[in-house]
Amino acid sequence: MSHTSNVDHLPYSLPIGIYTGSGASHSWLWFVEILDRMGFYNVHFVDEGDILANALDPLDVLLMSGGDTFAMAEGLGAEGSDKLRSFIEGGGRYIGTCAGAYLPLRSSMDFLNQFNFINVKISNISRRLSEPERHSFQKNACSSYGYEFVFHVAREDVVLELVNGFQADGKKEMIAPLFGGPSMLPSEDIEVIATYKGFTKKTKFLVEEDLAAKTLIGNIAVAKKSMGKGKLYIFGPHFEHPHYPSCNLFLEEIICKGQNGRFDHVQDVFSRDPQNLVKGQTLRGLFRDLKREWSNSRIAASGMNDFSISWLIGNKYYDSEKISVFINAVWDKLKRLEPITDLEVDKNLLHRCVEISKGITKDIQAIRSEVNEQGNATSLASKLFLDLKTLSSNFFKLYFKAKRDRLQGQSLEG
């Protein structure tokens, strides 16, 4: 596969959903960043409630990024699984990275067993380890899986080999970032796109290199499966990481491939209420309110950077520095919207962002106090990350909507 020019045709109109519901951690923000860079502006944010309310129907692509697979499965439940299946079989493309790749794999575990879309086994599960090897993992390098555990042997750069005629930038090798994603064993149920080939100087080993090689090398990193009229693409590594442009281009092609002919129209799939738009001085005032609160959050979060603490929320560890990742992602987009003078945005959504942001600053300060007093801040952190996700997805809804509106305006003027 090589980068082609079909994305030059108004890619912003392709309806794409990013999952931000239960279990989604912070890596969906990377999808936001690369879609924005690539010019995809018809982007929507869906949680499990939206999926149950048929929010997938107008979408061409659903992006499921990293996080806690168990929480995703539990949140979506059997009904959510049915919705996903219908979406794919009806012609949608499911693109899952890391936790989003584990989700559709065959499993006998509660909740996960409702998503047996792909019959493939993983190599990074403890039943494939010897007894001494089982004890070589630290807590943050594995996740409980019934009596077993899923383990991770390396982080950051790994070398992939593209197979079955796939290419990236005309090459058969590429470097991709691995942060806990699956390594899959061969199966007739999937078409292999890439396998793990090796490591680089930037690979961070979580175990002895030999065990890392035994677990990864030669096994499957990226694969696809056809289901009805649609396809599932599953990526062990995070191809959406914005620091890996070759991976991003590869994803871009998959996102565009097989699109349902919607390129020809600027089509807004979600409702719009002209009475609820805010602009001019009022908008600038609201932006200022959001910026004030968000800056307070940003500064309070940066004050926690020396703490180096993490909280186990569900089955996943969340580092305190991830707070700043959410905040800076929104900050960056806020700064881009701020100078646009003729902007119109959804008033209710913006008000909601301002209100949530006030709570986030207080949450961060409460966590800081709790940590200073040697207390357990897990429940506070759990609430904080939920609020960060809610605010971020609401703000990005507003951001992409504004971008679509501006392009639509230009196209009408043109």
Binding residues for other proteins, per CB under 8 A? Answer: 288, 291-292, 295-296, 298-300, 302-304, 364-365, 368
Please state the closest distance from residue 171 (CB atom) to other proteins, in A: 30
Please state the closest distance from residue 291 (CB atom) to other proteins, in A: 6
Longest dimension (CA), the chain: 69
Q: Which two tokens stand for residue 203?
A: 């690979």
Rounded to the nearest 10 degrees, how much is the dihedral formed by the CA atoms of 405, 411, 412, 414? 150
Helix axis angle, 28-38 to 245-256, nearest 10° = 80
Nearer CB in complex with other proteins: 171/335: 335
Rounded to the nearest 10 degrees, how much is the dihedral formed by the CA atoms of 218, 174, 102, 238? 150
Q: Coil, strand or helix: which one is 109? A: coil
Please state the closest distance from residue 303 (CB atom) to other proteins, in A: 3
Q: Which of 79, 78, 36, 83 is nearest to 62 (CA)?
A: 83
DSSP assignment string, 310-324 = EEEETTEEEETHHHH
Nearer CB in complex with other proteins: 84/360: 360
Nearer CB in complex with other proteins: 1/286: 286
Nearer CB in complex with other proteins: 18/304: 304
Tell me whether strands 191-205 and 220-227 are parallel, antiparallel or unpaired.
Answer: antiparallel
Nearer CB in complex with other proteins: 246/365: 365
Please state the closest distance from residue 38 (CB atom) to other proteins, in A: 24
Please state the closest distance from residue 350 (CB atom) to other proteins, in A: 17
Contact status, residue 217 vs residue 194, Cβ threshold 8 Å: no
Q: 382-389 — which CB contacts under 8 Å span 24+ positions?
A: 382/311, 382/313, 384/323, 384/360, 385/25, 385/313, 385/318, 385/322, 385/323, 385/326, 387/356, 387/359, 387/360, 387/363, 388/323, 388/326, 388/327, 388/360, 389/20, 389/24, 389/326
The contacts of residue 403 (CB under 8 Å, 6+ apart) are 12, 36, 41
Angle at 280 between CA 275 and CA 284, to 5 degrees: 110
Nearer CB in complex with other proteins: 207/364: 364
Nearer CB in complex with other proteins: 126/302: 302
Q: Coil, strand or helix: which one is 151? A: strand
Q: Which two tokens stand for residue 281?
A: 């001085």
Nearer CB in complex with other proteins: 299/312: 299
Q: Coil, strand or helix: which one is 64? A: strand
Please state the closest distance from residue 402 (CB atom) to other proteins, in A: 20
Please state the closest distance from residue 296 (CB atom) to other proteins, in A: 7
Chain centroid to CA 102: how far? 13
Please state the closest distance from residue 28 (CB atom) to other proteins, in A: 23
Nearer CB in complex with other proteins: 192/367: 367
Please state the closest distance from residue 394 (CB atom) to other proteins, in A: 20
